[in-house]
Amino acid sequence: MSELESNSNDTSITNKFSCLDGEIITTNTKVKKIDFTDGDEYLHTLSKGDNIFYVMQGSGVTFYNNKEYYWKKNDIINLTENNENIKHYAYNKETSLLYISNNANTIYTSSFGGVISSTFGG
- Portion of the chain with pLDDT greater than 70, in percent: 62
Which of the two residues, 58 and 119, has the higher pLDDT score? 58
pLDDT at 30: 84
Secondary structure of 56-120 in HEC code, one letter for each residue: EECEEEEEECCEEEEEECCCEEEECCCCCEEEEEECCCCEEEEEEEECCCCCCHHHHCCHHHHCC
Q: Which residues contact 11 (CB under 8 A, 6 or more apart)?
A: none
pLDDT at 103: 67
pLDDT at 21: 57
Q: Where are the domains of the chain?
A: 13-105
**Integer Cα distance of 98 and 72 in angstroms:** 13
Q: 45, exposed or middle or buried, with CB in 10 Å at 0-12, 13-18, 19+?
A: exposed
In the 8-state DSSP scheme, what is residue 6? -
Nearest to 74 by CA among 18, 30, 17, 118: 118
- 59 pLDDT band (50/70/90 cuts)? very high
Report the CATH fold assignment for 13-105.
Jelly Rolls (2.60.120)
Nearest to 121 by CA among 50, 72, 79, 58: 72
- 64 pLDDT band (50/70/90 cuts)? confident
